[in-house]
Structure 1
Amino acid sequence: MRLSRGLLLSGASLAVGVALGAGLTSWKLKDDRGPKILQPLIVEAASDISRPPSSGITRFGLPGLSQLKTRQSHVLSYDPRLRGPVWVLEQLNGERIQGDATREDSEFIEDDSVHHYHRATNSDYRGSGFDRGHLAAAANHRWSQKAMDETFILSNVYPQNPHLNRNAWNTLERSCRGLSRRNRSVYVCTGPLFLPRTEADGKTYVKYQVIGDNHVAVPTHFFKVVVLEKHNGELELRPYVMPNCPVDEKIPLERFLVPIETIERASGLLFVPNILKGSSNVKAITAGGK
């Protein structure tokens, strides 16, 4: 079974699954009449009184649509409420992690494709105590200076605890690059989590800090779902969750492995379920490395 072709997904998994299945280039569906390309929704004013009343609901446009953004180095789905991505997807291999690109030539910039009401700015991070933490790591894309530069667009960034960013999280990113040297491809999906916590009153809340004038959300945790495509066609799944706080870098990465269902329930996403559910050639690595 190959990860890189033929994924037909539905619901919340469509965007992630199609990006994996089509090599991050096209959106396709199949029916009995052959392939179709998904077209943008065209909204028309209702002029025929024989139409049901609902036909005119969208005549002035829709208040929002999923914001899918494609870069050289990654694909992401943007959440304007959080001022950050829901998920960021990369494909790594031995060639992509090598090259002459350098982060010294890159600068953090606003995403001008996002409405100014809903974007993060560099001023939001000033004095916040948080790093501008990449989801698609800059060092994953040394093959192209443009690809590396695009990882510095703030739509690929969340406020991240400095100790986590520079130690345990960096170790996880380096591990993904090491895996890309030993496998055909490594698919990495990274995103924020906002996990509930029971407080002193006995009630459970989802609470998270925001920073800056634009109220950029600070995730309570981060996930990284790693899918290894081996040279023999087998797949291996490694789902990680780390808290957005100082983490002892001596703790083995295997301690942060969780069942994929844990991330799916918490994030509202589904990760290539057509392949991962009930497939005999998929090995899921859990805590303890088994």
Structure 2
Amino acid sequence: MLKHLKRFTYFAFVGWLFVSCSQEDGVAPKGDNLAMGNPSEAATDFSNYLIEKAQYSLSYNSYRGTPNWVSWHLSSTWLGSAPRQDDFRGDNSLPATFYRVTPADYTGSGFDRGHNAPSADRTLTVEDNSATFLMSNMIPQAPNNNQQTWANLENYCRKLVSQGNELYIIMGQYGKGGTGSAGFKETLAGGKITVPNRIWKVIVVLPEGNNDVNRVTSSTRVIAIDTPNSNNISTSWATYRTTVDAIEAKTGYDILSNVSTTVQRVIEARVDDGPTS
């Protein structure tokens, strides 16, 4: 009996240690970043290369030097007091044949190094926050788009979390050519980085719970926006509300592919008219 008790105690301790270490290593206790689906069926193609990190998942386009889209889960389990790291750097996990974008490639361009998965969405640990500063998580984003319109939406997302919700967020871009603080540009870094023309985001809002995909119903709130990548842009993200269907028509993606097709037909055709602050 004592032998079995010791064995149980040992495995209980190991299990606790594993969970504890996982959280210290920046792995949130719940939430699959690709729970709603892999919008472009990203895999190993150089224009649609799947990268899965603990903090977010993405489809990377080596020909554009940017992600096609980034997908992440946001809940209170990802938020804490870790400070903003500002350690922008190339992503050494990319295949050696890919050009690895550096922070200097954006210098003097008139475009921000615009986060997809935001720094403030990953503050549980320093490691989590640092991961958002990899250049594989960046796009050339017009400063007013990034610092005003987009920032307002990101703040609203975290407010929704503070109200007891968890979110699944997919952000992406398409097209070529945007207008930053130094005027219109199509590429940066001698053509290695494509400046997107449009920037979009889809947000699935759920009350905190389990079995998240199965809890998405025809009444689930889904926010979709599609903005021009321009410095001449409204600070109100609500101006740019659209449907998931419209974004899919522009990109060719199936953004919420893991949700039942019956539910998709309803929620992807609807323009959100909910609160904005």
Verify same fold: TM over 0.5: yes
Counterpart among 218, 221, 229 of residue 198 in structure 2: 221
Q: CA deviation at 1:281?
A: 11
Distance 1:93 1:210, change over 3 A: same
- 1:95-134 → structure 2 map (5 Å cutoff): 95-97=77-79, 99-103=80-84, 105-114=85-94, 115=96, 117-134=98-115
Task: Give the aligned residue type for 2:87.
Answer: E
* Separation in 1, partners of 2:98, 2:73: 31
Alpha-carbon distance between aligned partners in 1 of 2:137 and 2:77, rounded to the nearest angstrom:
22
Counterpart secondary structure, 2:108: coil
Residues 1:193 and 1:118: Cα distance change in structure 2 (over 3 Å): same
* Residue of structure 2 in register with 1:151 after alignment: 132
- Which residue does 1:238 correspond to in 2? 223
Match of 1:71 in 2: 53
The yes-or-no answer on 1:186 pairing with 2:172 is: no
Classify 1:189/1:211 alpha carbon distance in 2 versus 1 (closer, same or farther; 3 Å). Answer: same
Letter in 1 for 2:188: I
Distance change >3 Å, CA 231–CA 117, structure 1 → 2: closer
**What is the Cα deviation at residue 182 of structure 1?**
2.6
Higher helix share: 2
Work out whether 1:140 is the aligned partner of 2:126: no
**Quick one: which of 168, 173, 176 aligns to 2:149?**
168
Counterpart of 1:24 in structure 2 is none
Question: Quick check: 2:36–2:168 contact (8 Å CA) kept in 1?
Answer: no
Specify the code of the residue in structure 1 equivalent to 2:230. C
Q: Structure 1's 231 and 255: CA in aligned 2 closer, same or farther, altered over 3 A? A: same
Q: Distance in 1 between matches of 2:200 and 2:160?
A: 17
Which residue pairs with 1:209 in the alignment? Answer: 186
- For residues 245 and 64 of structure 1, the distance between their equivalents in structure 2, rounded to whole angstroms, comes to 28
Cα shift at 1:265: 1.4
Alignment of 1:31-46 (within 5 A): none
For residues 187 and 117 of structure 1, the distance between their equivalents in structure 2, rounded to whole angstroms, comes to: 29
Matched-pair contact (CA < 8 Å) for 2:46–2:63: no
Query: Do the aligned partners of residues 63 and 259 (structure 1) sit closer, same or farther apart at CA in structure 2, a change above 3 Å counting?
Result: closer
- Give 5+ residue unaligned stretches, structure 1: 16-39, 41-61, 197-206
Q: 2:67 aligns with which of 75, 85, 98?
A: 85
Q: Contact between 1:195 and 1:266, CA under 8 Å: does it hold in 2?
A: no
- How far the C-alpha of 1:210 sits from its partner, in A, is 0.3
1:279 to 254, 263, 267: 263
SS at structure 1 position matched to 2:89: coil
User: Which residue identity does 2:222 align to in structure 1?
Assistant: L
CA–CA separation in structure 1 for the residues paired with 2:238 and 2:205? 16
1:166 aligned counterpart, secondary structure: helix
Structure 1: which 4+ aligned runs deviate by more than 6 Å?
A: 7-10
Query: How many aligned residue pairs are there?
Result: 228
Counterpart CA distance in 2 for 1:264 and 1:164 is 22
| 2:248 pairs with 1:267 | no
Task: Check the 8 A contact 1:91/1:188 in 2, yes or no.
Answer: yes
Residues 1:79 and 1:110: Cα distance change in structure 2 (over 3 Å): same
AA aligned to 1:144 is T
Task: Give CA-to-partner distance per residue, 1:6-43, whole Å, 9 cap, x none.
Answer: x7979x5545xxxxxxxxxxxxxxxxxxxxxxxx9xxx
1:231 Cα deviation after fit: 4.7
**Structure 1 residues 61-82: Cα deviation after superposition (integer angstroms, max 9, x where no partner):** x985842112221111111011
> Does the residue aligned with 1:240 lie in a helix, a strand or coil?
strand
Q: 2:36, 2:58 → 1: CA distance?
A: 19
Deviates more, 1:77-86 or 1:172-181: 172-181
User: What letter is aligned with 1:259?
Assistant: T
The amino acid across from 1:121 in the alignment is: T
Quick one: distance in 1 between partners of 2:138 and 2:252?
Answer: 20
The two structures have a TM-score, normalised by structure 1, of 0.68
